Amino acid sequence: MKKIDIACIIDDDPIFVFGVKKIMEIIGFCKNLMVFQNGEEALNNLKAIISNNEKLPDVILLDLNMPILDGWQFLDEFIKIPCEKKIIIYIVSSSVDPQDILKAKTYELVSDYIVKPVTVEKLKEVLRDLEQVG
């Protein structure tokens, strides 16, 4: 399996972030990792990366329930930013609300909705999906 160059996690739960980082290390998910604790922090940093013409992440794992700017607010703002690179977003949430899953499908950038906890197999599946796209 091909390694992703840059992955990004946007989640305010340090335990979740720690666990996903460990799984990523085990399966060789990515070469580099960006972590942001809320949508606002992620948005500001990604805007700066775009305006400085630096390398953007290939994939974003996005939580929905976060302080300051939640996942939906992040998505609503992020899709307004002109960006040449197609970044694939996976919503990763503990919410099993069918409304959230349906809403996620209305965003073109959102590839899938993953219910926490994230497993080794699920991240391998993400890698396989990204290989087919890339």
Q: What is the structure's pLDDT at 19?
A: 96
CA distance 48 to 116: 30
Domains and CATH numbers, the chain: 4-133 (3.40.50.2300)
pLDDT tens per residue across span 109-133: 999 999 999 999 999 999 998 888 7
**Mean pLDDT score, 94-106:** 95
Contact by Cβ (8 Å): 34, 7:
yes
Cβ neighbours for 35, distance < 8 A, ≥ 6 positions apart: 8, 9, 10, 11, 17, 21
pLDDT tens per residue across span 11-68: 999 999 999 999 999 999 999 999 999 999 999 999 999 999 999 999 999 999 999 9
